[in-house]
Chain A
Amino acid sequence: FTLALKKSSVQTIGEEQIQNPYTELLVLKGHQDIVRFLVQIDDCRFASAGDDGIIFLWNAQTGEKLFELHGHTQKITAIAPFSSSDDSEEKSNLILTASADKTVIVWDCTTGRQVQKVSCFHSTVKCLTVLQRLDVWLSGGSDLCVWNRKLDLLCKTSHLTDAGISTLVELPKNCVAAAVGKELIIFRLTASSDKSEGWNILEVKRLVDHHDNILSLVSVNDLTFVTGSHVGELIVWDAIDWTKQASECNFWESSVHPDSQTEIKLSQSPNETSVQHLTSDEECVFAAVGKGIYVYNLQMKRVIACQRTAHDSSVLHIEKLPNRQLISCSEDGSVRIWELREKQQVPAEPVPTGFFNMWGFGRANKQANQAAKKTQENTTMHFLELVGDLIGHSSAVQMFLYFGELGLVTCSADHLVILWKDGERESRLRSLTLFQKLAQNGDLQLKF
């Protein structure tokens, strides 16, 4: 019988994955419905939440379940960590959770207890943002509310739309950008004159450049933020004056016309091109567009590398790792690890991926080469190399959390959270523990 069922359009990697460090996995069971959110609490703890309304706190090293937080009656719609401000003495880790039951609960991660519950919302809170600098947090639903740490409502906007704010991002100068449907609304928080702790929130600007719902909104640095819409428009904004700096809208054509500033309507089905998720480092914006991954260079203002079909179905989450690696997860249930490689056009230089060529990854190179030929000859060529994939979930992988050397946490619609770990490292740690325990038990002297 045959097992190779992958579509030929999607790049595949063989079973041999030298660079994939994740050779051990722990399945964390507990959720009874789709797990949609993962949030890091501190160096070794994280929370998971989803449609069952339960929040679990886990130890990222051992996979131990620390707490099971019950309080919401409906699915969780947003979760945000709210660590204590710098001035407070004891470090307290709080998390905020919003649910479809129109409540927001503040939890203490150390004790696993509910600290406070806010249930005066008129609609479901769809996004939560903590403005650490101001020590306030914002909840976005059909309106935008500003709260302080004590859960006092400081101010709120008027009713915006029934659909509500889908996503929020903090901008410089006490501003926030809120995506409401196709519109991007900039609000500014101003200290009210009469009260010391009072804040006012004012709508500053409405940006209506997108032709479809804005799905993703990410701040790149103090000067720039990026939005992506359902029809595949990517717009780079100036964070200070909220003007459009650049835009990319036809990702299918982006390689062909890298300098094109014109917005061309896409003939593609919107799902194929919707910008599901954006992430960025200082140089590039990484966009999960449909099934593909695109790397947009902010300086060059063009897509420098892409994988049009990185997954079998929509990419749901994408993250840039410090080591030039990129991780994406998708509705197809897989997680893939990519590496952004550059290749000089000097033919004499040894091919860095020669090893992979040997093992049959020439096709990937060829693809990249084709893309590269279309770019200018003298520039550095970039391409996304698949270095590994993680197969474990049986349903859409909603999100993942990169924990550095502790591993990678993925959550999925199959109700599972999987902790992927570096088997070598774990083995070493176990040896360490073993010898500690030996010494502790005194077995070293007695028996061995």
Chain B
Amino acid sequence: MIGAPDVVALARQEEEEAAAGGGAEAWREPPLPEEYSVPLAPFGGHGASPWARAGGSKFLRDFILVAEFSEQVGPQPLLTVPDDAKVPGSFDLNYFSLRIMSVDYQASFVGHPPGCAYPKLNFVEDSKVVLGDSKEGAFAYVHHLTLYDLEARGFVRPFCMAYISADEHKIMQQFQELSAEFSKASECLKTGNRKAFASELEKKLKDLDYTRSVLHGETEIQKKANDKGYYTTQAIEKANELASVEKSIIEHQDLLKQIRSYPYRKLKDSDFHPYEPECAPDQASVGSDQDLAASDLAEPGETTPYSHVPSYTPKLIKAKSAKCFDKKLKTLEELCDIYFFTQTLDQLHQIERTFRGDVCYLLTNQISRALLKQQSITNFLFEDASFLDEKAPEKHYRGCQELGQDAVERKCSEESPTPKVVVSLGSYKSSVECVPIKMEQDIDDPPEPAMTESITFEHQENLDYLDADIKGSISSGESIEVLGTEKSASGLTKSESQASLPISPSPQAGRSKVGSRRTVSEDSIEVLSTCPSEALIPEDFKASYPSAINEEPYADDEEGGLRFAPRLNPDDADEPEDGSNPENPAQVDSACCIGKESPRFLEPLPSPGPRPCDEDGVVRIPPQPYRQAEQGPCGGFAGSPHPDGVPGGLLPHELDSRYPAGGRELSRTSLDECSDSTSYISSAASTCSDRTPSPAHPPCPASERHKKKAGQNALRFIRQYPFAHPAIYSLLSGRTLIVLGEDEAIVKKLVTALSIFVPSCGVRAKPVKHWLTAPLHVVDFQRWKLVGLQRTASPAGVNVLHALSRYSRYVSILDADSKTLRCPLYRGAVVARLADHRTQIKRGSTYYMHVQSVLTQLCSKAFLFAFCHHLHLPVAESEPEEAVASRRVSFLKHHLGLANEDLKIVQYLAELLKLRYIQEPGQGANPLLRFDYVPSFLYKI
């Protein structure tokens, strides 16, 4: 049966189209009388973009939800990022918390395993799941983790962090990135938690020790008092009590030992720093946070976080510890100590910023960044130094980055570089298959996984096709659907996985299968995806089959696929029954007193191993012992500039004296723009943008803001100044442009605007000096290509002007006060395209991108020019230099289609490329200044 939601989904698309076409029309013209007007799409009215899929969802935009399965009150939301009630809106956080907490598959077993006298702590891997709730219009990446709490049942507290979006594709396609980022957050929480747990244990041990000594004393007294030769009941009681305390001591000591011996699983992950160590000794002594954690745990008294421990006064412990109803549970903050908690929050905010925006934007951005990274010869010219600093791009973004360089080149040459193709290149495989949920009763049916795998998101067609699937899925009548797990992807055969465009056996086959799936599935929870981790891919395997990276471990191909199916069945079977209480029994364990009423939860489970799937229902992925994939991205991101002080792109700006000023200026002036997440919405609305305006994947938000701000200023500049073209030409041809003015703010604004046109000379930061008060010197023209210069009436100011007139041949001078420009003539065409004052572009970031694209074109021309052998070297021995020179000019004119001064731009860029290429790695580039003897003209408004 086809339910109503399907219709809604389809209608939504139509509305979108209407909004795209008619909506835009209606915008420009005065409103028509009501009877003539075409009804607008419901969300078109408030400036939504045509591709905003937000119609059905109740929240404004993507957000992060942190939830807990409390043993006292059940699933409950703890916090959201951004911390703004408007963002979730009417979205039912409680309900969704329940949903997301109910799909935790991890085996966080704590208890007394058979054959072991003491409770065992498990070091549980996080589980990562994607789930969708079509009723709520929400899709979520859910990251489950457990934290230790001595007072909790089984010492564990299940938590989860969820990235919630209305766009399912976003979750699917950004799965790896989300997983990597959330793992960092989780790692941070857990590190803090281990510390806190250890210190808690120590306190408890002290208490117990004290209790024991007290009890011991009492027993001794009783013994002495007792001369009757037999024990009183009182004495026996005391002795029992003492024995139980001693047992408890041993147990706690064992726990402490366990937590301290936290396996050094991630030692390899040396550049993974979710937080900065608080104190210098830590920093000096440890290589990784795990090390730190371990060492801290080993010597708790000596490190800052535990400095309070020695002064701890032990308390007497009553024999019976309180039940969980009696006490207030620790908050998340208490569980992980405030420092780590804030670090985690920072990380979550960072995630929220990173994944803000439309998925197509995110993808395009990732892909273009990946491709740019491969332009190793030209990318320094106009690209952000910050993103070039990011290392190991292949590990970073899963898209085409994971392809080897050759692969991308091959693809690019073979196929038209449309986003669609790139998407397929990217093998956004993680997007995972639709898992047949109920149909395979025959769990050993081998073809089944192969079938499921055919429905992938790799192809645009498949994407659409999947859309249909999703719509279809609503017919299940239940709100949450399991779309698949990555594990099931392992059904792929090797040959298929190597193909960049895996071909579905046939759409019909897939469709019919999906159809059958949908009709039979009646369960309420459908897991879209889980990530057992890419860890199983051996490193060398990644290298040799780069395009197949996301196709997951071949190692246990068949196995995984087969194992998965049976697990699903009980899922289907069980869920409806315990739908009201879908928490993972494995997680909450026997210790939870308010969990399932089922008696089996009241006693320890018999086996710590992977739970038999038919026993506890929910689809579960066994914890992976080794998570390489997480390390990969983390390693990559560690090098990327995060605002919280990770050395990266931000640093060069800070190191360079000219940047802080500019940065300050920017942050000041752009406060009203999009300075933070809360003010963001309103500003976006005011600039007639939609809910997905923010560029994604900013290496650091500051630089993103910078781009936007610079773009806006540049737009203003080209509209205000009729002589913008020669000014920009000066910058592009390497002639230093001086912006002269009295008012620092105006000058800096102009400098910011113009800075987007300045090619970098190979040094990390752009050769821009925002504000200078001293007279210029010849050395400065080598260093800076754009300078804001102070004009004053003082004698010093006279010197400044004198120097300027002296060196006038090296500079173009834009006088911000009198609005004049003195610079060489420009008659080319490139700058006209770059800076058309009649441009329809309205937004700064758009204009910035326009500029980037034109500049990229220029770069490629410069590259061709610089690297064409015959343009620079004689073809024959006897060929005179003049012939080569004329060939050079004719190439520039006829092949590259350049005219007049455009030649000089390309020549200058080519010269920069050459300099950069021939520069020996050890020594810095010789700061040379190239110039022309060309006359300047004075332009006035």
Residues on A facing B (Cβ under 8 Å): 1, 3-5, 14-18, 20, 23-27, 29, 62-64, 333, 388, 391-394, 416, 418, 421, 423, 426-428, 430-435, 437-438, 448
Known: A25-B929, A394-B803, A430-B911. A1 touches B818 (CB 8 A): yes
Q: Tell me if B804 counts as interface (CB < 8 A to partner A).
A: yes
Contacts of A438 in B (CB 8 A): 867
Contact assessment for A394 and B927 in the assembled complex, using a CB-CB cutoff below 8 Å: no
Ordered by A's residue number, 28 sampled pairs between the chains whose C-beta atoms are within 8 Å are: A1-B818, A4-B805, A17-B933, A18-B933, A20-B933, A23-B930, A23-B931, A24-B930, A25-B928, A25-B929, A26-B927, A26-B929, A63-B926, A416-B778, A418-B778, A421-B928, A427-B907, A427-B914, A430-B914, A430-B915, A430-B918, A431-B872, A431-B914, A433-B914, A434-B917, A435-B872, A435-B873, A437-B917
Contact assessment for A16 and B807 in the assembled complex, using a CB-CB cutoff below 8 Å: no
Which among B866, B869, B933 is the interface contact of A15 at CB below 8 angstroms?
B933
Which among A5, A15, A394, A435 is the interface contact of B934 at CB below 8 angstroms?
A15
Question: In whole Å, how far is A183's beta carbon from the nearest beta carbon of chain B?
Answer: 41
Contacts of B869 in A (CB 8 A): 435
Bound CA–CA A423/B801 (angstroms):
28
Contact assessment for B911 and A427 in the assembled complex, using a CB-CB cutoff below 8 Å: yes
Contact assessment for A62 and B873 in the assembled complex, using a CB-CB cutoff below 8 Å: no
Bound CA–CA A389/B189 (angstroms):
67
Contact assessment for A15 and B779 in the assembled complex, using a CB-CB cutoff below 8 Å: no
Q: Tell me if B881 counts as interface (CB < 8 A to partner A).
A: yes
Q: Tell me if B675 counts as interface (CB < 8 A to partner A).
A: no
Bound CA–CA A431/B930 (angstroms):
16
Contact assessment for A26 and B918 in the assembled complex, using a CB-CB cutoff below 8 Å: no
Q: Tell me if B315 counts as interface (CB < 8 A to partner A).
A: no
Contact assessment for A434 and B914 in the assembled complex, using a CB-CB cutoff below 8 Å: yes
Bound CA–CA A353/B816 (angstroms):
40
Give the size category of B's interface with A. Answer: 35 or more
Q: Tell me if B935 counts as interface (CB < 8 A to partner A).
A: yes
Contacts of A3 in B (CB 8 A): 804-805, 808, 813, 822
Question: In whole Å, how far is B785's beta carbon from the nearest beta carbon of chain A?
Answer: 15
B933 to A, closest residue via Cβ:
A17
Question: In whole Å, how far is B912's beta carbon from the nearest beta carbon of chain A?
Answer: 11
Which one of A18, A421, A426 has the greatest number of beta carbons of chain B within 10 Å? A426
B residues 44-93 near A (Cβ < 8 Å) are none
B911 to A, closest residue via Cβ:
A427
Contacts of B779 in A (CB 8 A): 27, 29, 416
Known: A3-B804, A427-B911. A24 touches B934 (CB 8 A): no
Q: A14-B935, A23-B930, A26-B926 are in contact. List 20 more A-B contacts (CB 8 A).
A: A1-B801, A3-B808, A4-B805, A5-B802, A15-B808, A15-B933, A15-B935, A23-B932, A24-B929, A25-B929, A391-B806, A416-B779, A418-B778, A430-B914, A431-B872, A432-B872, A434-B872, A434-B914, A435-B869, A448-B867
Contacts of A394 in B (CB 8 A): 777-778, 803, 806
Contact assessment for B802 and A24 in the assembled complex, using a CB-CB cutoff below 8 Å: no
Contacts of B935 in A (CB 8 A): 14-16
Bound CA–CA A146/B809 (angstroms):
49
Which among A24, A27, A437 is the interface contact of B918 at CB below 8 angstroms?
A437
B824 to A, closest residue via Cβ:
A15
Q: Tell me if B815 counts as interface (CB < 8 A to partner A).
A: yes
Contacts of A27 in B (CB 8 A): 778-779, 782, 927, 929
6 closest A-B pairs by CB:
A431-B872, A17-B933, A3-B805, A392-B778, A430-B914, A433-B918
Contacts of B926 in A (CB 8 A): 26, 62-64
Bound CA–CA A188/B873 (angstroms):
56
Bound CA–CA A432/B818 (angstroms):
46
Known: A394-B778, A431-B914. A16 touches B927 (CB 8 A): no
Bound CA–CA A64/B820 (angstroms):
40
Q: Tell me if B936 counts as interface (CB < 8 A to partner A).
A: yes
Contacts of B929 in A (CB 8 A): 24-27
Contacts of B918 in A (CB 8 A): 430, 433-434, 437
Bound CA–CA A432/B884 (angstroms):
13
Known: A15-B935, A15-B936, A27-B778. A431 touches B805 (CB 8 A): no
Contact assessment for B933 and A388 in the assembled complex, using a CB-CB cutoff below 8 Å: yes
Contacts of B804 in A (CB 8 A): 3
Contacts of B911 in A (CB 8 A): 427, 430
Contacts of A423 in B (CB 8 A): 930-931
Contacts of B809 in A (CB 8 A): 15, 391
Contacts of A427 in B (CB 8 A): 907, 911, 914
B863 to A, closest residue via Cβ:
A448
Question: In whole Å, how far is A28's beta carbon from the nearest beta carbon of chain B?
Answer: 10
Question: In whole Å, how far is B733's beta carbon from the nearest beta carbon of chain A?
Answer: 13
Question: In whole Å, how far is B734's beta carbon from the nearest beta carbon of chain A?
Answer: 11
Bound CA–CA A27/B929 (angstroms):
8
B residues 750-773 near A (Cβ < 8 Å) are none
Contact assessment for B881 and A428 in the assembled complex, using a CB-CB cutoff below 8 Å: yes
Question: In whole Å, how far is A400's beta carbon from the nearest beta carbon of chain B?
Answer: 15
Which one of A3, A394, A421 has the greatest number of beta carbons of chain B within 10 Å? A3
Question: In whole Å, how far is A118's beta carbon from the nearest beta carbon of chain B?
Answer: 36
Question: In whole Å, how far is B492's beta carbon from the nearest beta carbon of chain A?
Answer: 31
Known: A27-B782, A437-B917. A16 touches B777 (CB 8 A): no
Bound CA–CA A423/B931 (angstroms):
8
0/1 per residue, B683-695, Cβ < 8 Å to A? 0000000000000
Contacts of A391 in B (CB 8 A): 806-807, 809-810
0/1 per residue, B861-873, Cβ < 8 Å to A? 0000011010011
Question: In whole Å, how far is A424's beta carbon from the nearest beta carbon of chain B?
Answer: 8
Contacts of B822 in A (CB 8 A): 3
Bound CA–CA A284/B881 (angstroms):
34
B residues 792-845 near A (Cβ < 8 Å) are 801-810, 813, 815, 818, 820, 822
A21 to B, closest residue via Cβ:
B933
A418 to B, closest residue via Cβ:
B778
Bound CA–CA A29/B822 (angstroms):
30
Bound CA–CA A393/B803 (angstroms):
11
Bound CA–CA A325/B927 (angstroms):
29
Question: In whole Å, how far is B520's beta carbon from the nearest beta carbon of chain A?
Answer: 53
Question: In whole Å, how far is A333's beta carbon from the nearest beta carbon of chain B?
Answer: 8
0/1 per residue, B455-472, Cβ < 8 Å to A? 000000000000000000
A18 to B, closest residue via Cβ:
B933
Bound CA–CA A312/B915 (angstroms):
37
Bound CA–CA A416/B782 (angstroms):
14
A26 to B, closest residue via Cβ:
B928
A2 to B, closest residue via Cβ:
B805
Bound CA–CA A438/B914 (angstroms):
11
Contact assessment for B872 and A428 in the assembled complex, using a CB-CB cutoff below 8 Å: yes
Contacts of B810 in A (CB 8 A): 391
Contacts of A29 in B (CB 8 A): 779
Bound CA–CA A25/B805 (angstroms):
19
B374 to A, closest residue via Cβ:
A447
Bound CA–CA A20/B931 (angstroms):
11
Contact assessment for B931 and A24 in the assembled complex, using a CB-CB cutoff below 8 Å: yes
Question: In whole Å, how far is B172's beta carbon from the nearest beta carbon of chain A?
Answer: 34
B928 to A, closest residue via Cβ:
A26
Contact assessment for B818 and A24 in the assembled complex, using a CB-CB cutoff below 8 Å: no
Contacts of A432 in B (CB 8 A): 872-873
Contact assessment for B872 and A393 in the assembled complex, using a CB-CB cutoff below 8 Å: no
Contacts of B873 in A (CB 8 A): 431-432, 435
Question: In whole Å, how far is B789's beta carbon from the nearest beta carbon of chain A?
Answer: 12
Question: In whole Å, how far is B656's beta carbon from the nearest beta carbon of chain A?
Answer: 19
Contacts of B801 in A (CB 8 A): 1
A3 to B, closest residue via Cβ:
B805
Contacts of B807 in A (CB 8 A): 391
Bound CA–CA A262/B911 (angstroms):
59
A20 to B, closest residue via Cβ:
B933
